[in-house]
C-alpha cells in the first residue's frame, strides 16, 4: 500500500492528478490521507478508486506535562517538531494548540488499521505541523518516506527521502550527485535557452496578488542598461517557511547586510521584492529602508538582473540557484543545499536528480508512465 498524505488543497490537486493517471487496479493499491475534513471531502469527490483515510473522531489527549513525565524521549522529539514548525514560528499559533494538533494526528494515524500494510508514504515538504506527526508515524513503523517540493524549474519537482531544501538528504550529502551520469554541455545549453524563455513569462505565484499594485508602486527603479556590476538582492516572501527555518536573516536584516556590503565594495545595491509578497506592512518597511539606505528597488526581469550583477546575495532563495546557473558569485545568508555545488553538480542536479515530467501547478493530465515513475521514485 502506498500512502499519499495531503494537508493542503494544492497538495490534493497535484497528487490527485498523479493518482488518476493510473489504471483503476493500480489506484486500489493507494490510500489517500488528509488531516483536514474539507480536503477529505474534496478527495472523496475526486478520487473514486482509492481507499480514503480521513483523520477524524474524538480522542483523549494528555497534556504536554503529563506526556513529558510518561514518555520524555518522545516528548522531546514532539516538542522540537512543534517549535520548528511554520505554524508555531511564523503564524504564532499558541503552543497548546500546536500540541493538540500534533498529538491528535499522531495518535489517529497510529490507530488506523487500514494503514498497517502501508510501505511508503508520499508527503509534501514535511515542515508543517500536520506533516511532522506523519513523519514520526512513518519512522515508528519503518515506512519509507518521500518528500515532494516545488523545484521552481519547469516540468520538474524535488523528491527526497528525508525532507526538503536544507533538511534533505541531498543537503547532507551533495557528493551523491557525482555518481550520476554526466550531462553534455550542449544539452544543458539548450535547456537554459528554454528555461530563460519560460522565465520571461509572468510568475505563477504572482497571479491574483492583492499587493501587486503596492509592489509596483514601490519598485519604480530601472537599472538594466544604466548600471552594471551592482549587488543584487532578491527578497523572499516574508512568511516563507524556508526563510524562517533555514535563513540566518530575514528580509530587513538581509537588506542591512547587503547595504553594508555595497558601501564597502562601492557598488549600487539593487533589490527585487518577491512577486508573491502579500504582507503590506512588509512592503511599507522595505520602502522605508530604501529611504534610509538609498538602494534601488526594481521589478525588472530576474534573469537579466542576475546577468548584469557583479554578484548575488540571497536568503535561501531559488534565485541563488539561478545565479549559479549563470556562474555568478552567490552569497547565501543561511543554509541552502546548493551553495557549494560545482557547475557539473548543478547540471546533474537539474537533469538527473530532479524528477522530470510533471508540472505541479498545472491542471493537465499526467501520462501513466510518468505517474508510475513518480510513485516508484
Q: Can you list the pairs that 287-291 forms with residues at least 24 positions away whose Cβ atoms lie under 8 Å? A: 287/218, 289/252, 289/255, 289/256, 290/218
Dist CA 275 CA 218 (whole Å): 12
pLDDT digit string (tens) for the chain, length 377 residues: 999 999 999 999 999 999 999 999 999 999 999 999 999 999 999 999 999 999 988 889 999 999 999 999 999 999 999 998 888 987 789 999 999 999 999 999 999 999 999 999 999 987 789 999 999 999 999 999 999 998 888 899 999 999 887 788 998 899 999 999 999 999 999 999 999 888 887 666 666 788 888 988 999 989 998 877 899 999 988 877 666 666 667 889 999 999 999 999 999 999 999 988 888 999 999 999 999 999 999 999 999 999 999 999 998 668 899 999 999 999 998 878 888 899 999 999 999 999 999 988 888 999 999 999 999 99
Dist CA 11 CA 4 (whole Å): 9
Q: What is the pLDDT of residue 100?
A: 96
Q: What is the pLDDT of residue 325?
A: 93
Q: What is the pTM of this model?
A: 0.87
Q: What is the pLDDT of residue 206?
A: 61
Dist CA 238 CA 298 (whole Å): 18
Amino acid at each position: 500500500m502506498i500512502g499519499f498524505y495531503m494537508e493542503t488543497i494544492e497538495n490534493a490537486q497535484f497528487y490527485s492528478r498523479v493518482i488518476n493517471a493510473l489504471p483503476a487496479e493500480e489506484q486500489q493499491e493507494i490510500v489517500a490521507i488528509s488531516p483536514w475534513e474539507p480536503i477529505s471531502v474534496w478527495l472523496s469527490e475526486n478520487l473514486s478508486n482509492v481507499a480514503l483515510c480521513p483523520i477524524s473522531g474524538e480522542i483523549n489527549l494528555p497534556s504536554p506535562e503529563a506526556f513529558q513525565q510518561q514518555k520524555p524521549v518522545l516528548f522531546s522529539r514532539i516538542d522540537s517538531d512543534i517549535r520548528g514548525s511554520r505554524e508555531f514560528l511564523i503564524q504564532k499559533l499558541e503552543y497548546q494548540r500546536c500540541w493538540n494538533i500534533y498529538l491528535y494526528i499522531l495518535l489517529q494515524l497510529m490507530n488506523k488499521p487500514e494503514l498497517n500494510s502501508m510501505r511508503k508514504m508520499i508527503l509534501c515538504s514535511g515542515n508543517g505541523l500536520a506533516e511532522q506527526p506523519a513523519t514520526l508515524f512513518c519512522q515508528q513503523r519503518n515506512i519509507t518516506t518521500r518528500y515532494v517540493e516545488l523545484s521552481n524549474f519547469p516540468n520538474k519537482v524535488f523528491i527526497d527521502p528525508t525532507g526538503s531544501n536544507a533538511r534533505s538528504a541531498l543537503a547532507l550529502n551533495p557528493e551523491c550527485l557525482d555518481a550520476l551520469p554526466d550531462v553534455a554541455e550542449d544539452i544543458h545549453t539548450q535547456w537554459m535557452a528554454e528555461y530563460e524563455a519560460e522565465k520571461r513569462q509572468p510568475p505563477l505565484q504572482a497571479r491574483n496578488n492583492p499587493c501587486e499594485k503596492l509592489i509596483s508602486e514601490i519598485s519604480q527603479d530601472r537599472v538594466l542598461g544604466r548600471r552594471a556590476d551592482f549587488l543584487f538582492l532578491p527578497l523572499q516572501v516574508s512568511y516563507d517557511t524556508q526563510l524562517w527555518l533555514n535563513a540566518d536573516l530575514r528580509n530587513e536584516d538581509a537588506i542591512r547586510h547587503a547595504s553594508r556590503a555595497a558601501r564597502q565594495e562601492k557598488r549600487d545595491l539593487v533589490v527585487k521584492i518577491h512577486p508573491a509578497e502579500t504582507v503590506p506592512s512588509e512592503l511599507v518597511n522595505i520602502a522605508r529602508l530604501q529611504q534610509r539606505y538609498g538602494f534601488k528597488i526594481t521589478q525588472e526581469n530576474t534573469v537579466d538582473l542576475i546577468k548584469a550583477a557583479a554578484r548575488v546575495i540571497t536568503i535561501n532563495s531559488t534565485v541563488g540557484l539561478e545565479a549559479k546557473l549563470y556562474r555568478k558569485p552567490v552569497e547565501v545568508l543561511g543554509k541552502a543545499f546548493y551553495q557549494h555545488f560545482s557547475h557539473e553538480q548543478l547540471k546533474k542536479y537539474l537533469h538527473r536528480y530532479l524528477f522530470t515530467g510533471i508540472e505541479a501547478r498545472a491542471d493537465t493530465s499526467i501520462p501513466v508512465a510518468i505517474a508510475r515513475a513518480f510513485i516508484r521514485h
